[in-house]
Amino acid sequence: MEREQGSGEFVREPLGVAGRITAEESAPWPVAPGRYRLVGARACPWANRVIITRRLLGLEDAISLGIAGPLHDERSWRFHLDPGNVDPVLGIEYLREAYEKAVPGYDDGVTVPAMVDVASGKVATNDYAALERDLSTEWREFHRDGAPDLWPDAGEIDRIGEGIFDDVNNGVYKCGFAGTQDAYDRAYRALWDRLDALSGHLSDRRYLVGDTITQADIRLWVTLVRFDAAYHGHFKANRHKLTELPVLWAYARDLFQTPGFGDTIDFEQVKQHYYGVHTSINPTGIVPDGPDPSGWLTPHGRDELGGRPFGDGTPPGPPPGNERVPPLT
């Protein structure tokens, strides 16, 4: 998933199967309900972006969801939560098997999310950014009634999203996997400068772009929701906890309590993955018992800022029974 340059800076490896699934019938991978299985993991923020998008747009019947467990080894993400350690639709134990079917001798990173063609067992694409955009555009015919418009201002969403990706989504990894003090210090400063700017931006508006939830909010939120459970301690992104940042904490709780967001999160799997897999950072593999997640359900007060979460659309219904996560207690 990552490597270090001579500077000690974390660099995310290129995607290994960056295809597209489009509405063109002649496309190598055409849109077709029931053809593909989205493989994600509750632990992974990149997968979470696409899982939330699928939920909000109501594509559960068109695209099935497979969940890899939080633990994996050098062979890749593994379906160790499923009976017999095998995905019930794809019939594989390790996600690498689907990558190797797509690219014989595949030797790049095995990542989630991955959209897998069920019939052939091949990964069609693991390009999370293209997937979240294409689910909104190329799959429009199969959206639920009342699906929100997640791209009302694509230019502004991409502009703000670029900074979120560089300094926040990827920024916490740059802190955690830095190979030198200088590399860590640069990443740490960029992360907190960006979070401070985002806090200021959100101090008088409910959402990042316009008055509705957009893809920009999804991109930021998947890092915020994992911040105290993993990034603050495990990745040394520890100037403050999220719970100590009034604006961002309220913003994150607002979205957590919005259908399609909090109902995709399993904090135990998040901690099991980060603390259990990254042995170079946490060699003992000990998973912390805290923090207490019950605060995510406390009042946030953000509705006083106005806004219409789903615009002219409606909230999604409850997730399918086999996709539900444990409730917070």
Write down the catalytic residue from 36, 99, 173, 274: 173
The DSSP result for 122-179, as a single string, is EEEE--HHHHHHHHHHTTGGGPPTT---S-TTHHHHHHHHHHHIIIIITHHHHHHT-S
Distances (CA, A) of 135 to 42, 119, 151: 19, 20, 11
Write down the catalytic residue from 36, 44, 128, 251: 44
Can you tell me the distance from the alpha carbon of 244 to that of 247, in angstroms, rounded to the nearest whole number? Answer: 9
Q: In what order do the strands lie in the sheet with 122-125?
A: 64-68, 36-41, 114-117, 122-125
Residue 207 annotated as catalytic: no
Work out whether strand 76-77 and strand 114-117 pair parallel, antiparallel, or are unpaired: unpaired
Closest CA to 134 of 18, 22, 17: 22
Work out whether strand 64-68 and strand 36-41 pair parallel, antiparallel, or are unpaired: parallel
What count of other Cβ atoms lies within 10 Å of the Cβ of residue 119? Answer: 8
Phi-psi region of 31 (alpha: psi -120 to 50; beta: other; left: phi over 0): beta
Can you tell me the distance from the alpha carbon of 298 to that of 313, in angstroms, rounded to the nearest whole number? Answer: 26
Residue 44 annotated as catalytic: yes
Active site residues: 44, 173
